[in-house]
């Protein structure tokens, strides 16, 4: 038997496989899913604080209004928007649309741009759009 030098794992970006936009978007999709899961627990904690009222709510509100809390909320909203748009992209693939390589890259860039635009719009409304 010939002993060939080949990767032991398919996840060898940078060493064996060339890094591509599709690789990055796939990794980000998984990271966003993990972030959304963590954010769901934070949301449940906030809901419990609202239900308890008084000091519990004040502590939760102060925590989320702190600079670290605001960054966490921003990253949560960024992950939610990205995960939604990437999920829509995958649904379109399931319907048979967008399998040609130029379309794959075009839709990938569209997801990234729309994620930035929609997240910025959400935060604009949250911070400056209220009455």
103's tokens: 């379309």
Cross-strand bridge partners of residue 13? 17
CA distance 54 to 75: 28
90 is in an annotated binding site: no
Angstrom distance (rounded) from CA 47 to CA 85: 27
Cβ atoms 95, 52 nearer than 8 A? no
**Binding-site residues from annotation:** 83
Binding site residue list for heme: 83
């Amino acid at each position: 038997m010939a002993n060939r030098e080949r990767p032991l794992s398919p996840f060898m970006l940078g060493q064996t496989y060339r890094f591509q936009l599709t690789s990055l978007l796939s990794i980000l999709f998984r990271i966003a899913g993990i972030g959304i899961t963590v954010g769901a627990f934070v949301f449940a904690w906030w809901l419990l604080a609202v239900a308890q009222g008084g000091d519990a709510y004040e502590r939760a509100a102060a925590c989320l209004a702190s600079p670290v809390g605001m960054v966490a909320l921003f990253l949560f909203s960024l992950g939610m928007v990205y995960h939604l748009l990437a999920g829509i992209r995958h649904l379109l693939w399931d319907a048979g649309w967008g399998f040609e390589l130029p379309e794959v890259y075009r839709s990938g860039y569209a997801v990234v741009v729309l994620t930035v635009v929609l997240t910025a719009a959400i935060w604009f409304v949250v911070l400056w759009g209220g009455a």
